[in-house]
Amino acid sequence: MSGAATRIYAFHLAVIAALFLVQFALPAYHYGNVTRIMLYAVFAIGYNILLGYTGLLSLGHALFFAAGAYGAGLAAHWWGFGPIAALAVGIGAALLVSLVTGAIVYRTTGVAFLIVTLMLAQAAFLSTLYFNTITLGDQGIVLSLPPIALFGASLRLADPMVKYNAALIAFAGALLLSLWLLRSPFGRVLVAIRENEARTRLLGYNTALYRFTALVISGTLSGLAGALYCILFGYVGSSFASLQYSTEPLLWTLLGGAGTALGPLLGAGIMFYLIEFASSTGIEGYMIIVGVALVVITLWFPEGLAGWFRRLKRVRS
Amino acid sequence: MITGSAIFLALLEGSVGAAVLALTALGLSLVFGVMRVINIAHGEFVMLGAVVAWWCSADLLGAHPLLGFLVALAVAPLIVGAIAVAADWLVLRRVNYDPERTIVATMGLLYIIQQGVLMTYGPDARPLDPPIYFRVQFPGFGYSGYKLIVAGLALLLLGATWLFLARTRIGLYMRATRLDSETAQAFGVPVKRVYAIVFALGAMLAALSGVLIAPIRGAHYLMGADPLLLSFIVVIVGGLGNLRGTLLAAAFIGIGDGMISVLFSPTLAKIIATLLVAAVLVVKPGGLARSTAS
């Protein structure tokens, strides 16, 4: 491993270590928030693999998040699966949905790609309402899962510490995977597709296959976030498949900086606290902040915060 | 049991829906065709039209609801058109109409308009009095006369838009810009101004269809989602930016959606329509119709 690579891995491992240590100092309110932020960051890291690395703008990632959440939720609710088994079913469901979606959309790029993904996610959202005898529709499924037995200890899912560390493990895994992916030959081809697909194809790469694989990895990671969210917070409902859940990972990724490893965490964290602050003011239409953020990013921060920091550093040195 | 008159009723509902849908989708199609901008906030312009219609009918309380309706037909496009011009000037022009950045920006616009209405107008779905009330008796069922008038007005507005595009100088500019904006600019077409006018025109068409459906569906801050979804579907099936294809697809999708909604379930109708689009885009990324035809 070269010196630069060591430094990059060391930096990101330090971030993970900091997130581990900070749990002993966080007040209860922020403890729960950071747990959610880390799960959202896993969702956004999955999204970033497509948008940031491959350059494909999806408007339908709620589809994968919901596939994971419903896979886990339905397995636990109808078949009485335990947390670990339900999580596995959720990830499996997300993988399956990603494979099918990938097979449908792998020929499309650009505008067509984003509209097909939007349409498929909308079809899924409407299906969760239509088949409400199974999904319980809008109202959703509330789960009460048994504790996990691990090394003789019994981990209750209601315990904030269990939630926090489960989310941290998922986040650490996703972050390291995305770092490794970006530096691997496979990731290099993805970036080449983002920069110039025609040229990459001329070099002999089957770009459609690379895009397909990127979508499957991205969708499965997003589904993992959904499945874990459903298990840790004991709920899944139609809103998980709604347009809002497709907009948010886009917003987090763009805000943090598309194509950067830590951007998704940064974006999810800032947006979470912005929305918390806006809703605490008691104003009814507090989600307007999402709209303002989207417009501000488009106009002034097209590279996101991480990209902006990076440019500042470059200018100074 | 599905009877003959039920099918006829469904067909009628579908046709009324198709006429309004054509109006909404024509706006979206114009914006995409000329500016290459995918306007995610298009449904919010429909919603704004309906909300303005509610204000007009509520503020002119005591007067005949027809007066409020006519005022709304004149005022809603003006207000919504002004908002669209402002959005074009403040946001879209500044990112040079870059396709991906405008999508993110119009998505932001969607939230701003929707939540802005929630702040001022509130979360309730509010009904409106129909401006005209009479029933047309068909064999087996009576039908709201207002809905037939809606369909007629929508067709009239479509015709007017068509004439505007085909017969006026600014319409010619729009068609020239659609074909090749650089060449149009070289021939002295003020492309930037054409963009602003097209974005406003698209929003105005959406607002008008909002005014038309308000007495049927009421006004609600979340009502923009359905028109957005359906006009997306229409614009894609009809061939991105192809106006004639848009109208044909609106008739097909609108009637199909209306019939399945009445005979089975509105949700099922939307699921089928969305999957249809996904299928169309995968088989023919340019849409069903040839995109070279006008």
Tell me, yes or no, if A15 comes closer than 8 A to chain B by beta carbon: no
Q: Which amino acid is at B173?
A: Y
* Pairing mode of beta strands A141-142, A235-236: antiparallel
What phi and psi values does residue B142 have, to the nearest 5 degrees?
-100, 150
Residue A175 CA neighbour count, 13 Å, CB half: 27
Arithmetic mean of pLDDT, A100-119: 82
| Inside any domain, residue A274 | no
Structure confidence at residue B294 (pLDDT): 40
Size of interface A-B (CB pairs under 8 A): 119
For A49-96, how does the pLDDT look when each residue is reduced to its tens digit (9 = 90+)? 988 888 888 889 999 999 999 999 988 888 888 888 899 999 999 999
What b/e sequence results for A62-101 when a residue is b if at least 16 CB atoms lie within 10 Å of its CB, and e otherwise?
bbbbbbbbbbbbbbbbeeebbbeebbbbbbbbbbebbeeb
List of residues 6+ apart from A20 with CB closer than 8 A = A168
User: How far, in Å, CA of A183 to CA of B221, rounded?
Assistant: 46
Biggest alpha carbon distance in chain B?
A: 63
From residue B11, how far is each of A68, B6, B148, B216 by CA, in Å?
Answer: 39, 9, 12, 17
Interface contact B115-A114, CB threshold 8 A: no
* Residue A1: pLDDT over 60: no
Structure confidence at residue A286 (pLDDT): 84
Q: What percent of chain A has pLDDT over 90?
A: 23
Q: How far is B275 from chain A (nearest CA, A)?
A: 7
Cβ atoms of B154 and B22 within 8 Å: the answer is yes
For chain B, helix, strand, coil in percent to 5 are 75, 5, 20
From residue B12, how far is each of A178, B16, B23, B128, B149 by CA, in Å?
Answer: 54, 6, 17, 22, 12
Interface contact B282-A107, CB threshold 8 A: yes
- Helix locations, B168-224, DSSP H: 169-179, 181-186, 191-217
Tell me, yes or no, if B103 comes closer than 8 A to chain A by beta carbon: yes
Structure confidence at residue B21 (pLDDT): 92
Cβ atoms of A231 and A76 within 8 Å: the answer is yes
Among the listed residues A251, A255, A225, A221, the one whose alpha carbon sits nearest the alpha carbon of residue A240: A225
DSSP 3-state assignment of A171?
helix
**DSSP track, A211-278:** HHHHHHHHHHHHHHHHHHHHHHHTEE-GGGGSHHHHHHHHHHHHHH-TT-SSHHHHHHHHHHHHHHHH
Burial class (CB in 10 A: 0-12, 13-18, 19+), B129: middle
| Inside any domain, residue A196 | yes
Q: How far is B261 from chain A (nearest CA, A)?
A: 13
Q: What percent of chain A has pLDDT over 70?
A: 97
Domain count, chain A: 1
Return left, alpha or beta for A154; rule: phi > 0 is left, psi -120 to 50 is alpha, else beta: beta
ipTM over 0.95 threshold: no
- Chain B residues inside the 8 Å CB shell of A239: none
Interface contact B105-A287, CB threshold 8 A: no
* Residue A200: pLDDT over 70: yes
| Pair of tokens at residue A274 | 């912005």
User: How far, in Å, CA of B67 to CA of B73, rounded?
Assistant: 10
Tell me, yes or no, if A17 comes closer than 8 A to chain B by beta carbon: no
Burial class (CB in 10 A: 0-12, 13-18, 19+), A263: buried
| Inside any domain, residue A19 | yes
Structure confidence at residue B292 (pLDDT): 43
- Chain A residues inside the 8 Å CB shell of B116: 285, 288
User: How far, in Å, CA of B43 to CA of A138, rounded?
Assistant: 22
Q: Domains in chain B and their CATH numbers?
A: 4-283 (1.10.3470)
Structure confidence at residue A95 (pLDDT): 95
Q: What angle do CA B38, B41, B47 make, to 5 degrees?
A: 140
The pTM of the whole model exceeds 0.80: yes
| Inside any domain, residue A212 | yes
Interface contact B275-A104, CB threshold 8 A: no
Q: What angle do CA A183, A258, A94 make, to 5 degrees?
A: 80
Tell me, yes or no, if A199 comes closer than 8 A to chain B by beta carbon: no
DSSP label at residue B144: E
DSSP label at residue B141: E
- Chain B residues inside the 8 Å CB shell of A126: 267, 270-271, 274
Residue numbers of B between 40 and 79 with CB closer than 8 Å to A: none
**DSSP track, B36-103:** ----TTHHHHHHHHHHHHHHHHHHTTTS-HHHHHHHHHHHHHHHHHHHHHHHIIIIIGGGTT-HHHHH
User: How far, in Å, CA of B278 to CA of B272, rounded?
Assistant: 10
| Inside any domain, residue A313 | no
Interface contact B265-A283, CB threshold 8 A: no
- Chain B residues inside the 8 Å CB shell of A298: 91, 95, 101-102, 104-105, 108
Q: Which amino acid is at B249?
A: A
| Inside any domain, residue A131 | yes
Structure confidence at residue A316 (pLDDT): 60
**The tokens 């509209």 sit on which residue?**
A115
Q: How far is A285 from chain B (nearest CA, A)?
A: 5
Tell me, yes or no, if B100 comes closer than 8 A to chain A by beta carbon: yes
pLDDT by residue for chain B (294 residues), tens only, comes to 567 778 888 888 888 889 999 999 999 989 988 888 889 999 999 999 999 988 888 766 666 778 888 888 889 999 999 999 999 999 888 888 888 888 889 999 999 999 999 988 888 888 887 777 778 877 777 788 888 888 888 999 999 988 988 888 888 888 888 888 888 888 888 888 889 999 999 999 999 999 999 888 888 998 988 899 888 888 888 877 678 888 888 988 888 888 888 888 888 888 888 888 877 777 776 555 544 444
* Residue A177: pLDDT over 50: yes
Full residue range of the structural domain in which residue A41 is found: 3-241
Structure confidence at residue B28 (pLDDT): 92
Q: How far is B276 from chain A (nearest CA, A)?
A: 9
Structure confidence at residue B293 (pLDDT): 40
Q: Which amino acid is at A306?
A: A
For A25-49, how does the pLDDT look when each residue is reduced to its tens digit (9 = 90+)? 888 888 888 999 999 999 999 999 9
